[in-house]
Each structure stands twice: as structure tokens, then as C-alpha cells.
Amino acid sequence: MNPTLDLLYRLADDQLILGHRNSEWNGLGPILEEDIAFSSMAQDKLGHSLQLYGLLHELGEAEPDTVAFTRNAPQFHCCQLTELPIGEYDFSLIRHFLFDHAELLRFEALADSSYEPLALVARKVKGELKYHVLHANTWVKRLGTATEEAIERMQAALEFTLPYALSIFETTEAEPEIISSGLFIGEAELQARWEASISKVLAQTALTLPDLRTLTPVAGGRQGQHTEHLQPLLDEMAEVFRLDPTADW
Amino acid sequence: MYGSASTHDIPAKATTGLENEDPILLAEFEARIARGEKIEPTDWMPQLYRKQLTRMIEQHAHSEIIGSLPEGTWITRAPGFRRKMAQMAKVQDEVGHAQLLYSAAETLGKTREQMLSDLVNGKSKYSNVFNYPTPTWADSNVISWLIDAGAIVNQMANAKGSYGPYCRALDRICAEEAFHLKYGHDAVVHMATGTPIQRKMMQEALNRWWPAIMTFFGPSDKMSTHTEILMRWKVKMATNDACRQQFLDMYVPKIWEIGLTLPDANLRKNEEGVWEFSEPDWEDFKRVINGDGPCNAERIAVRRAAEENGAWVRRAMQQPKAQYVRPLA
């Protein structure tokens, strides 16, 4: 695939799928304020994905609604981290923490992309992601220093989630050209920045970051290989849209 | 959404307890209300006033979070980006309303934790309409438009009530509800003027919801007792029938205008300008409100699961010395 399309699909699909998952916290949060916060982040992420699908549309791909609501799982390029069910709050919080640290750094770097339309979107998006990271840090620090029960849960969630989080940085065969053309700094550089960024926050908690070198990343998402959770998510998302394909909804 | 008068009345058997109140303070309290002054949390108030308002604001708050469930299930199914983002924002507002309302109720002395615990234990109620299912996207649209419309009728009236924190919360809530009304109206019109499949979906949803909408404002005034003192204290600002008439007058013409029909052959405005309709099935209403509706168990089960699953977070957050006393409104 063309490197620009390859990159844009990965970015857009990550945002769409995690946005969708975050929205599932409606009515289920541990406190109302978290229902509201996850909904805000979901709305931002949906908005980000819409802008990115808009860039793809400008490059000749189908309309955002068609791209988002009619593809099947093998056609999606999101990392597997984003598609896992929301689980309990500890998992959703840790996923949000690990993902959004990477996402903020990613969009900060993309603000200097050689592809100017993407750089413009990134400059706006990174400003919103700053608040997502602030939210994640606040909660991770709070729960990661609170009761023994909370610390144990957060540590277990961290250990469960990290192999999936490493899937954020899975590359495609377009990677060398993405870097050489100045589209993006590349996943390896991003991962190095991310490790420094999450370590700094975790150091302020009772949580321990395992040696990432010892973990096996759960790869495949970028190539269209997904967990069993993605297709049901997509079926649900398109349930109404598909009732009448001729309709304007 | 979503407050409704349907469960706010004093139970017929309740005693007012007013004979135990200091008559001088009581007279002063009533005079202040008559002058249009607001009662604030630290002001003296009769026990019955505190109790009724707590009950009313708490039920309103519960209605917001329970009400977010039937519409919330359509967030993940909303067709297209535009609808998906709007549905999310709309439902998020409702949860925000609950937050405002619990804070207002807390000023009367009951904590949010206690209120939520009473909700999952069935001790306190919420608007009865949310005990009915929303099997299609169109049902969610009907709620967004017509249930919110009903709630606005009610809340605009109550915003002129006597308790300061509740009135201020309602002012903010009504401002957001006005957008929900536009959102719901747009969604319904879009479907009602869409493809045959969309029109059919919308008409069926409206048929399903109409009986519940007709009970939204609570039993007929002739069946409802003890409202006089609540009206005098400006706890209840309009009778159930007055709200229902206002709603019908505002929305039935709009529904007919877009080519939808209503499943009540007796629905018409008579020569005196009063809406006539088939008497709602109040026995069924009572049965549902007392727990035997199609979705009561499911709604409470979802809320209970949320409470139980999130308990560890709240335990971790708990700082016994920092009891939250200031309302957001």
C-alpha cells in the first residue's frame, strides 16, 4: 500500500476502534465523572478518526461513513490493543494510559510530517490528546498509590495489557519509506519516547514496569489479523447502517 | 431528560408531621416562598420539605442515569459518524445532569453513595418510562425527542420552584435539553421523511412509545392526592394534567405535521382547547412502577453491576475527612 494511505489507515482505525470502546463505558463507570470523561475521550477519538478518514477520502478512498461502517475485520489496520473489550475499569484505564501516551507523542511528531494535510490535523489533535494523557496520569497516580487492592489490580492490568500495548508499534512494509519520506519518525523511535514517558509516570506510583525486552508483542493488527473481538464490534457498529444501505441516515 | 412528576407525590398514607414544626419558623418559611425567595441549604426548612425535595431530586437524578441506558445502547449502533457523535454527546449530557442533580440533592443531607445504594436496592424510583424497551434506533430517536420534550415541560416549571440548588441545576439542565430537543426532532424528522424502511421503523417506534409517553407526567390529578402543600411550597409547580396538556398542545401538531400518526383514535383537541384522549392504563402503570415492567430488572441489574464493579475504585478514592458538601450548581 502507498505509505501515506498505510499510515493514515492505521491512525484512523486506532482512533475509531478505541473511541468506540471508550463509548461503551456509558452507564458503567465506577463514578459518574468517569462515565463522562470516557465519553469525552470517545467523542474526541471519533472526531480524530473522522478527520483522518477525511484525509483518506481526499486521496481517493471512499467516504468516511463507508470506510468506517462497511469494512470487515481483515480490512482494519488498528492494533489489537484497541479492539479488546472494555473489561473492568483497571484494564480500560491502563489501556487508555498506555495508548494515549503513545498517541500524544505520535501526533506531536506528526505535527512535523512532510505530508502537510496530516501535519495540520496533528497540530489540532495533539492539543486534545494532552488532556487524555493528563486524565490517564491523574488516575494512574491516584489508584497506583491508593489501597493495596487498587495497586494489585492496576499492576495485574499493566502486566496483562503491556504485550498488547507493544502491538501499537507494529510496523508494516511501508515503514522504511514512511521514515525516509519524512511522513513520520517511525514506530521504533516512537516506542523509545513512549517508554520514557510512561516510566516517568509509573515511577511516581507503587506500580512496577516489567522489563519490556522480556515481553512478546501481540502483533498482527496492522496486517489485518485481529482478535475474535473486532468483528462483533464492527457488526454492532454497522447494525443500523446496514438495515437500509440505500438510506441516508 | 428526564424528570417526571410521576412518582413525586406524597404517598396517600403519609403524615405531614407539620404539627411538630415550630409554627413561627414555618410561617416565616412559607412567607419567604410566597414572596418568591429561594430556600438555600443552610436555611431552616420543615422536615417534610427536606424529605420531599430529597426524594424528588434524587428520583430525577436516578432518571438521568437509568435513562442514559436505553439510549446508551444505541451509541455503539448509531448509523454514521454524525449520529454516533451526537448520540454520545447527548447521552453524556444526561449523565452530567445526574451529576448536577446528585450534588443538589446532597445539599439536603443525603450522600450520592446512599442515593445510588437506594436505587439498586429498589428503595427509590426513577421515571417509569425507562422500564420499557428500545428495540430499534427509531425508539432511541423517539426518546430523544418526545421524552426529552416532556421532561422540558416539567423542568421549566420546576426551575421556578423554591429550592435554590435544584432551580440552578434545572436552569443549566434545561439549556442543554433544548439542544437535545433539536437533536431528537432532527433525528425523527430525518427518519419520518426517509426511505420506506426508515418511515416504517419510526412509525412503529412511535406506536410503541405513545402509551408510555401518555403516562410520563404521572396519574391524572383526580387520582393524585396531597399535592396542595407541595404546590404551596413550590416543590411541585404544575399539576400532572397541566403538564400533559401543555405537552400535547406543543407536540401532537408537530408529530402530525411530519406525517406520523398516533395510536389513539380518541386523541383530539376539543372546542374548549383541551386535549381529549383515551385514558392511559393506570393499572399497568402501577404494575410497572412497582417493579414488574419489561425492563425494570435489567435496568437495575446494569446499575448494580456498575456499582459493584466500580466499588474498588471508590474505596481507593475515599478520604473520610473530605466529605463533599458544595453543590456544583
The pLDDT score that the predictor gives to residue B11 is 55
Is A58 near chain B, with CB under 8 Å? no
Q: CA angle at residue B161 from B160 to B163, to 5 degrees?
A: 125
User: Using H for helix, E for strand and C for coil, what is the string for B173-184?
Assistant: HHHHHHHHHHHH
Q: Which residues of B touch A92 (CB under 8 A)?
A: none
Mutation for B interface: A15, A28, A31, A32, most B CBs within 10 A: A32
Domains of chain A, CATH where assigned: 3-237 (1.20.1260.10)
Q: How confident is the model at residue B325 (pLDDT cuts 50, 70, 90)?
A: very low
Is pLDDT above 60 for B28? yes
Which residue among B81, B190, B314 sits closest to A31, beta carbon to beta carbon?
Answer: B314
**Does the beta-carbon distance from B311 to A46 stay under 8 Å?**
no
Question: How crowded is residue A33: how many other Cβ atoms within 10 Å of its Cβ?
Answer: 12
Taking phi over 0 as left and psi of -120 to 50 as alpha, with beta for the rest, A186 belongs to: left
Mean per-residue pLDDT for B310-317?
94
Residues 6+ away with beta carbon under 8 Å from B56:
B8, B166, B235
Residues 6+ away with beta carbon under 8 Å from A81:
A18, A95, A98, A99, A161, A164, A165, A167, A168, A218, A221
First to last CA, chain B: 17
The pLDDT score that the predictor gives to residue B227 is 73
Query: How far is the C-alpha of B235 from the C-alpha of B57, rounded, in Å?
Result: 10
The pLDDT score that the predictor gives to residue B10 is 54
The pLDDT score that the predictor gives to residue B13 is 53
Domains of chain B, CATH where assigned: 5-317 (1.20.1260.10)
Which residue among A23, A68, A243 sits closest to B88, beta carbon to beta carbon?
Answer: A23
Chain A residues 220-239 with a CB less than 8 Å from chain B: 233, 236-237, 239
Please name every residue paired with B276 in a beta bridge, in sequence order, or none if there are none.
B268
Looking at chain A, the whole-number percentage of residues with pLDDT higher than 70 is 100
Residue type, B260: L
- Over residues B66-105, the pLDDT tens digits come to 999 999 999 999 999 999 999 999 999 999 999 999 999 9
The pLDDT score that the predictor gives to residue B5 is 47
Q: How far is CA A28 from the centre of its chain?
A: 21
**Does the beta-carbon distance from A240 to B77 stay under 8 Å?**
yes
Is pLDDT above 90 for B4? no
Residue A227 grid coordinates: 482478535
Q: Which residues of A touch B198 (CB under 8 A)?
A: 244, 247
- Over residues B33-42, the pLDDT tens digits come to 999 999 999 9
> Long-range contacts for B168-173 (Cβ within 8 Å, ≥24 apart)?
B168/B104, B168/B327, B168/B329, B169/B57, B169/B97, B169/B100, B169/B101, B169/B103, B169/B104, B169/B327, B169/B328, B169/B329, B172/B100, B172/B329, B173/B97, B173/B100, B173/B101
Considering only CA atoms, which of A194, A98, A95, A93 is closest in space to residue A142? A93
Q: Which residues of A touch B115 (CB under 8 A)?
A: none
Q: Which residues of B touch A34 (CB under 8 A)?
A: 310, 313
- Identify whether the C-beta of residue B110 lies closer than 8 Å to the C-beta of residue B173: no
Query: Chain A: nearest CA to B74, how far in angstroms?
Result: 9
- Identify whether the C-beta of residue B98 lies closer than 8 Å to the C-beta of residue B65: yes
Is pLDDT above 50 for B176? yes
The pLDDT score that the predictor gives to residue B321 is 44
Is A213 near chain B, with CB under 8 Å? no
Is pLDDT above 90 for B7? no
Is pLDDT above 70 for B327? no
Mean per-residue pLDDT for B158-185?
96
Judged by average pLDDT, the poorest of A25-34, B204-213, B214-223, B314-323 is: B314-323
Distances (CA, A) of B281 to A40, A200, B7, B269, B296: 40, 63, 16, 20, 18
The pLDDT score that the predictor gives to residue B322 is 42
Looking at chain B, the whole-number percentage of residues with pLDDT higher than 70 is 91
- Over residues A90-130, the pLDDT tens digits come to 999 999 999 999 999 999 999 999 999 999 999 999 999 99
Query: How far is the C-alpha of A209 from the C-alpha of A207, rounded, in Å?
Result: 7
- Over residues A164-201, the pLDDT tens digits come to 999 999 999 999 999 999 999 999 999 999 999 999 99
pTM listed for this prediction: 0.94
Q: What is the DSSP string of B14-33?
A: ----GGGS-HHHHHHHHHHH
ipTM entry: 0.95
